[in-house]
Amino acid sequence: MASSYALITVSPLSSTPNNKYIHKLSSFSNKTPIFTSINFSRCCKFPGPSIPIWNYAKSFNLSAFSSLNGNCADDDDNFIVVNFYRFVFVENPQDEVSKHISFMQGRDIHGRIYLNEQGINAQYSGPSKDALAYVEWVKQDHKFSDILVQISPAINGHAFPKLKLRYKPSLVQLEEGTSHLALVDPSMRATPLTPSEWRSKLETVNKIDNLSSTMNTTKSILLDVRNGYEWDVGHFDGAQRPDVDSFRSTSFGLSETETEVIDEDPLATVDKENTDILMYCTGGIRCDVYSTILRQQGFKRLYTLKGGVSHYLENEGSNGWVGNLFVFDSRLSLPPSTYKPEISADASGKKREAPHSFAKCYICGSQVSELRHRNCANLDCNLLFLCCLKCVDDFRGCCCTKCTAAARLRPVLIGHQRYQKWHKYRDVESKSGSRLNPVT
């Protein structure tokens, strides 16, 4: 097997990775972020022996990427995942969509890019040349010039199956839509805290919590504005598991308006005037939306983590965070070291084992070794669940005994793969005439 080299995506975005930057890796610092992402794959462009990349991998604990079968790529074929959003008034969103579509001609970008009168929400993957060209082009428009761009390494080429670039009435999914919300008015949202402000606020909160746990005088609430299954692979220490399966049905703080008080609602009985509500989500967009709703409900002291958890991990490492970060693309979940590679390596370069005893197998309740969901092998269930290796084996990739007897079963996925379209499996099955045997 060919030796491995690191591909470095550098900031500012227009720079091209080259040997010089690889050598600069030794001066990697969070104060001067030279590198916005690090991808680990084989590459013929970076010549050999003078660059002992494997040592870099050890120093910076890039082992998360060492199992990649990255295609031999030149600089520009280094695939990355880019996320950004911006709430701002867009006068003619349909025209805007057309402009973006024409920019994409001849560029290899997959993902979800939505526009409407309230702004843009983009998550996409592509070779760095194309992926960065698009965001640079978007930023040339003054409406979008100050977007916070988040970049992370793709694991195995594209992280999305295709490009969806279109007008969408709601930039995020909410039961009643978002067009009635004052999303473009920053004063209606939570106060954004930088990652370091968030960290010190959390540390203060935890101290107060410890002091006052017996006196019941807690004046702040840490709110995970994501889904329960996202919390399951990683969350801020002290955050309650959200009892929701999709953001569209998030209802924190709304139970007072119902006749029944919802037990799981952490905001049900809080003092709206005097309680600090600290909200976080993956990239910040859900908090911006949800804080607008809470503002309307009369909550006064709302704070959000600017740029979400991904921005936090990039700047503060995993301090206060446990486990991985769930992401809505084919990578499913990323260890904190993806965002800030040096944090989980100690001086000897040895991998520090992150404690994640909170992560349990959905089937048997035992601790899972890998913080990554799988979809139930039963196409008609498709449940996203955490599973221990024994149960993967025993239940053939299904979430329960009933699913193992279902009509449309897919094979057990190995490693970090994702299921493909059903016809891939159906056709194989009809040719061979065989079917997986249900577990008895």
Which segment (128-136, 156-164, 362-370, 427-435) binds Zn ion by CB under 5 A?
A: 362-370
Buried b (16+ CB within 10 A) or exposed e, 372-407: bbbbbbbbebebbbbbbeebbeebbbbbbeebbebe
Q: According to the binding rule CB under 5 A, does residue 388 interact with Zn ion? A: yes
* Near Zn ion in 305-334, by CB under 5 A: none
Active site residue 281: yes
- Interface with Zn ion includes 386 (CB under 5 A)? no
Q: Judged by CB under 5 A, does residue 155 bind Zn ion? A: no
Q: Using CA atoms, how far apart are residues 401 and 404, in angstroms rounded to an integer?
A: 5
Question: Of 311, 297, 384, which Cα lies nearest the Cα of 36?
Answer: 311
Interface positions, 403-422, toward Zn ion (CB under 5 A): 403
Nearer CB in complex with Zn ion: 159/403: 403
Q: Which of 330, 333, 378, 404 binds Zn ion (CB under 5 A)?
A: 378
- Measured from the CB atom, the residue of 171 and 363 that comes closer to Zn ion is 363
Contact 393, 404 (CB under 8 A): no
Q: Is the Cβ of residue 142 or residue 435 nearer to Zn ion in the bound state?
A: 435
- Which of the stretches 64-72, 168-176, 214-222, 353-361 binds Zn ion when contact is defined by CB under 5 A? 353-361
Q: Which is nearer to Zn ion, 296 or 366 (CB)?
A: 366
- Residues touching Zn ion: how many (CB under 5 A)? 11
Q: For Zn ion, which is the closer residue by CB, 305 or 361? A: 361
Q: Does 384 contact Zn ion by CB under 5 A?
A: no
Q: Taking CB under 5 A as the rule, does residue 383 contact Zn ion?
A: yes
From 43, 281, 376, 403, active-site residue: 281
**Stretch of 40-48, 100-108, 260-268, 357-365 lying at the interface with Zn ion (CB under 5 A):** 357-365
Does residue 359 touch Zn ion according to CB under 5 A? Answer: no
- Provide, rounded to whole angstroms, the least separation between the CB of residue 304 and Zn ion: 35
List 81, 376, 386, 409, residue binding Zn ion (CB under 5 A): 376
Site residues (vs Zn ion, CB under 5 A)? 361, 363-364, 376, 378, 381, 383, 388, 391, 399, 403
Catalytic residues: 281
